[in-house]
Structure 1
Amino acid sequence: MADDEDDDRLLIGRRIHALRTERGLTQRALAEPAYTAAYVSTLEAGRVRPSENALRFFAERLGTTAEQLATGRPAHLATDLRLRLADARQTLCTGRSADAAERFAGLADEAGLHGLSQERADALLGLGDCALEHGELDLAIGHFEAAEELLRDAPLPRRVPALRGRAVAHLLAGDLRYSCYLLESAIDQLNNGGLPDPQALLLLYSAVIAPYLDLGAHRRAAQAAELALALAPQVDDPVAVARLHRSVARTLLADGRTAEADAALAQAQQLYQQLRIRTELAHCHWMRGYLRAQHGDLAAAERELRTAREMLTDRQADLYIRQIEVELADVLRRSGRSAEAAELLAELLDALHPHRGAVHAGAAHRLLGLIAEERGAPDEAERHYRTALDLLQQAGASADLADLCRLLGDLLRRTGRLEQALDTYRAGLGHQSTPGTTTLGPAPAVPPLTES
């Protein structure tokens, strides 16, 4: 600690000496009328550290700022960096994510060079979001972890965006329970801390809906949606509110409330259009396609899914594109175009695996199993079903596992393997009973401001 203080005094002294000589001032000319030449000499030698008043005085005489004398940072650097971070964020929202990543990388280096931890963390957060969009999940997790480390002494609400990003990356990788753990732990910390932050909670509740639904914990997803909606009027970030409406639509769909889900999606879509955020707007088309498919309007579903895929293709969001293509293949099969669906699925399987989109990889193999059954190829169908089971079991996707066990059980029964069929049906019933509640532990605390 003493060494750090000595270094600090020496660096300040060198800055004062460099600026004084650059401006052609003597020590006396710099010091008067408030100080003496001897005092300036001791400062430049690094023997004492100037007070805040002295820093401001000498900074004014030298034509700089007290911050630059104290830290060596150019005047207004932090403000300038924040403005450029906002520009990079806008590029990510409306332009090419590769361009945004290049900007964020440069800003991260510049902020790090000048010791601006908060600005560097924001740049790393942007890099993590760019990596998420490209499906580079390990890279995204690394950026989010680095941002959290820089902010480790900051209040939890300040760390929530990076934590949320890391949880989303683990969700996309198929680690559903760990994603839930991260989000629920943060929710508990905020709600038990006395003064929860509405915007941070909104981010967390919106994010936790997706892993809850994939795990089959529909009741928790519905509660998270209700709590997020209750918090929304207290949040002035339109992006967070739009994302909330999209997440809430998923819970309404799971509950069979299609008209309300459509209304929530329309609200989200309107906000994203106003904000010109193409990735989130594409997600709205994606979910509307899913909604139309559930409602049996396959032609409209195909149009929405193809629109979403086209928008994300422009942004090179490869992982999301592959996930959309799985749902598009389902629509094609249900429309009687099984050969087209199988061709699409075969092309995307290499891009989806246990650590990169496990839930959708399982869905792809499930569809290929159904198509194989339609073609009268039971052995091929069984291979796909069992591959899907392995993928979904690793991810813990209880709701999908129950359905898959039914399909495999039916196939085993039709091919005369009754004992194996019964075992598979029993496994499916186990996944169906109180889904999500036996493995997730207690639900997170409710925010004090929403308790009755």
Structure 2
Amino acid sequence: MVEQPAFGRRLRQLRIERGLTQGALAGDGMSTGYLSRLESGARQPTERALAHLASQLGVSTEELVESTASSLARSLTIATGLGADETGELLSGALATAGGEDPLLRWQALWQVADWRRQRKEYAEQRACLDELTTLSDQLGLPELRARALAELARCLRSTGEVPAAVDTALTAHQLAKDNALAPYVMANVLLAVVSVLAEADRLPEASRHTDELLSLVEGRSDPLWAEALWTAANIRLRQGEPAAAAELLGEAVRGFDGRDNPTLWTRLRISAARLNLQTTPPDTEAAHRRVEEVQASLPLTGTPTIEQELLFLRAHLAMHTGHPTEARTLLDQLDSLDPLLPYQDRIQLDVLRNRLLLLDGARDEAVTGLRGLAEQAQNNGNMALAAEIWRLLAESLAQDTPRPAPRVGLDRTRSANRRGF
């Protein structure tokens, strides 16, 4: 009997290696639904199915069902030039069946699969890859690989709201990089994680010191690392109450980064710039609207499901700032209909926006309860900056709804008379 799900993984790997869709592999002799169940491991193949698939793939039936200690080197070579999803599927399948491979090749494959999982917001699967990467780095005795894996793990933990664990992990990576005098580009990548997680923990003085260190390391560059460093530094300056400095840093990144190096980053820089426009006092809604139009125009080339959701999130906030709550509700409904891909911080901000709409609808008690719950959730997760922002909004909402007491004329006159000795 064919062993599942190993057979399904091998079948999918062979299909992807040959550049075939499920429909092309199934052909006229099999339904794509049946093929999908075979690849997922949910069905056992019949002898007739095995013969058909072997013929379609150009292999013998024996080759098709053999146990695959697949060569990671071969899979990594085939993955060159493939799209992100094809690469991720190919390498994850190869990792699942590989055995006795060169650990350095396994590290390379795990790193690519972890990044693929990150792009798909599959944080549990990404974390599993990163945990294995750190263990494998220890076995290899290479501090550079361990520092890189720990820094990426810290970002993963931050995205899921596990801020204290993210801080510990990032600081461990930083100390490792310092102790081993790792290359500047490695240290800069580590510092990107350190600054981000310290800011989420509301440890701004430490984050600011590391920001200065980060900017000095990327000075003179113009690559994605440089752009991310300026973007991160801008966020810190904004939290320190320096919106002009934040705008200058982010503006430099937007103007100086060539989108051909990383179209996704090019787009997200503009989304971030628009969000910064909405955080100034007063909000610069016209500049934010121009950025939104710029991003909207680039979606056919740079759009991903995550970017599309980030844009919807931004447009909802812009609608609130420009006095269009109905439009904001419509955009939030669109987001609710999609599989959530936004990180923890943005998901909380979306819930904050929903409660602000409840306040506008007059559902004060429900909104206050919702905001209080979100603040406590962020606080319990160690996200002190986000918690403080929500508590402030809650206090402002309560202050606006609290009626001013009517002047007590008679009592005031009595007190005035008593003070005059009457």
Q: CA deviation at 1:177?
A: 1.6
Moved more, 202-211 or 296-305: 296-305
**CA deviation map 1:67-119 (0-9, x unaligned):** xxxxxx99xx96x877666x45xx6xxxx532342354366579x45612112
Q: How many residues align?
A: 333
Partner of 2:164: 177
The partner residue of 1:190 within 162, 169, 177 is 177
Q: 1:250 to 1:410 in 2, by over 3 A?
A: closer
> C-alpha separation between the residues in 2 aligned to 1:214 and 1:310?
32
Partner of 2:389: 403
Partner of 1:426: none
In structure 1, the residue corresponding to 2:250 is in which secondary structure?
A: helix
Q: 1:308 to 1:222 in 2, by over 3 A?
A: farther
Partner of 1:147: 133
Q: CA deviation at 1:337?
A: 0.9
Q: 1:116 to 1:103 in 2, by over 3 A?
A: same
The partner residue of 1:116 within 79, 95, 102 is 102
**Amino acid aligned to 1:383:** T
**CA deviation map 1:105-137 (0-9, x unaligned):** 366579x45612112211211111111111111
The partner residue of 1:335 within 309, 319, 322 is 322
Partner of 1:249: 234
The partner residue of 2:353 within 367, 388, 394 is 367
Q: 1:397 to 1:376 in 2, by over 3 A?
A: same
> C-alpha separation between the residues in 1 aligned to 2:359 and 2:216?
47
> C-alpha separation between the residues in 1 aligned to 2:307 and 2:112?
18
CA RMSD of aligned residues (A): 3.7
Q: 1:217 to 1:320 in 2, by over 3 A?
A: farther
* Structure 2: gaps spanning 5 or more residues: 1-69, 405-422
Q: 1:237 to 1:288 in 2, by over 3 A?
A: closer
In structure 2, the residue corresponding to 1:162 is in which secondary structure?
A: helix
| Identity among equivalent pairs (%) | 18
Moved more, 279-288 or 100-109: 100-109
Higher relative contact order (CA 8 A, sep 6+): 1
Q: CA deviation at 1:320?
A: 5.6
In structure 2, the residue corresponding to 1:376 is in which secondary structure?
A: coil
Q: 1:81 to 1:116 in 2, by over 3 A?
A: farther
Partner of 1:447: none
Q: 1:407 to 1:284 in 2, by over 3 A?
A: closer
Partner of 2:53: none
**CA deviation map 1:255-303 (0-9, x unaligned):** 3444543443344346652543122212211211122222322132134
Q: 1:138 to 1:307 in 2, by over 3 A?
A: farther
**Amino acid aligned to 1:161:** R
> C-alpha separation between the residues in 1 aligned to 2:137 and 2:296?
36
Q: 1:135 to 1:241 in 2, by over 3 A?
A: same
Moved more, 117-126 or 372-381: 372-381
Structure 1 position 138 matched with structure 2 position 124:
yes
Structure 1 position 384 matched with structure 2 position 395:
no
> C-alpha separation between the residues in 2 aligned to 1:311 and 1:396?
36
> C-alpha separation between the residues in 2 aligned to 1:130 and 1:268?
25
Q: 1:411 to 1:229 in 2, by over 3 A?
A: closer
Q: 1:177 to 1:322 in 2, by over 3 A?
A: farther
Question: TM-score scaled to structure 1, two decimals?
Answer: 0.63
For residues 10-159 of structure 1, what are the structure 2 equivalents within 5 Å?
87=80, 96-105=83-92, 108=95, 112=98, 115-153=101-139, 154-159=141-146
